[in-house]
Structure 1
């Protein structure tokens, strides 16, 4: 199975990423969070990974439109150097999702 991804700088504004992904999909925050937690989209804030190249291109464009500096890559490139998932970052992601959810109401 091929994975395609997008790398964004580690200091990227997480809120911008989440909002860009939501605009693209369009999903509720809990759906975005669920996709991240189930691995449908893996995001360590250095990467967003999807199985479909079309979706990867869409995410790339959405993040570029949000003013985030991104690069495309194939999955094998990132797996050698990065652990694709990090519990601390997932907690950070969940916290950010929660904050954005509160903004929505």
Structure 2
């Protein structure tokens, strides 16, 4: 599986039109005809214009306490954007492992 992942990344790098670099690891990624949206492991969600790849907006989710009572970035489980309008649905983990749904309009 690891070899397949590395091969896939090499192929993407060879045929990619542009390389996009984010400040943290990407945990979730979604897009539509207008926007490319990446949920990062540091609790940020970066919204880019799909055609120009310029940053439009950054959403910073609040930090939560883990089971050791340390502050950690809020884990992002899912991102979904509506095809017609600018509604973003974010499923994340809140305090005490509760799930939180944010509806963000940009």
Q: Is this a same-fold pair by TM over 0.5? A: no
Q: Could you say which structure has the higher strand fraction?
A: 2
Q: Could you say which structure has the higher helix fraction?
A: 1
Please give the TM-score of this superposition, normalised by the length of structure 1. 0.24
The higher radius of gyration belongs to 2
Please give the TM-score of this superposition, normalised by the length of structure 2. 0.24
